[in-house]
Structure 1
């Protein structure tokens, strides 16, 4: 486990993040290696979880490339480049179902199928 990924997961656990999942997407993405998804129970907790990820990352010398969604608190994305963190309320997480989306192989990378006769 990379140091940044470990730092992110520990930061989420510290603030009682729920259902933390880390997905290795190296084979599916050219822009990131790991996707970390976590649920927070309220807007306030989602923001606190994301804030803690950012603060703990800074303590270990990692600064995010970008942060989106802090004003709303339903879904906050913290982008470190190789590691992208999604902190979401359960309803939003269920609706977008990123775990399923990122577990599927893109059609462009699948082997071509032979036409059925």
Structure 2
């Protein structure tokens, strides 16, 4: 079984290899049960977004790890790679700005559940 930190490092190495922009690692443990970390990165073009996602899958395969799924492969602006404990979102900057995933996942659960 692969350690979560090792999986995260493989993802970050793959993104660095192809010069991903503005890479953010969001620790979402305690905020969701679907994953431990979300990695959000930007590509400079539709082709770069796709190449970054492919590189993540390729890097995981080098370590004999198969992602649970890849979504948006035919999309032009956002590809998601689900590696279980680490979910990777690669987007064009304008898509990233629109969805603001970092802001969404930084919401404090205690604040969210506080009575109004």
- TM-score surpassing 0.5? yes
Computed over aligned residues only, the root mean square deviation of the Cα atoms, in angstroms, reads 1.7
Q: Does 1:64 align with 2:67?
A: yes
Q: Does 1:9 align with 2:15?
A: no
Q: Does 1:74 align with 2:77?
A: yes
- Aligned pairs for 1:1-117 within 5 A: 2-106=5-109, 110-112=113-115
Structure 2 gap segments, 5+ residues each: none
The structure with the larger Rg is 1
Structure 1 gap segments, 5+ residues each: none
How many residues end up aligned between the 2 structures? Answer: 113
Q: 1:58-103 deviations in whole A, cap 9, x for unaligned? A: 1112111110111123100000111000000000000000000000
The TM-score normalised by the length of structure 1 is 0.90
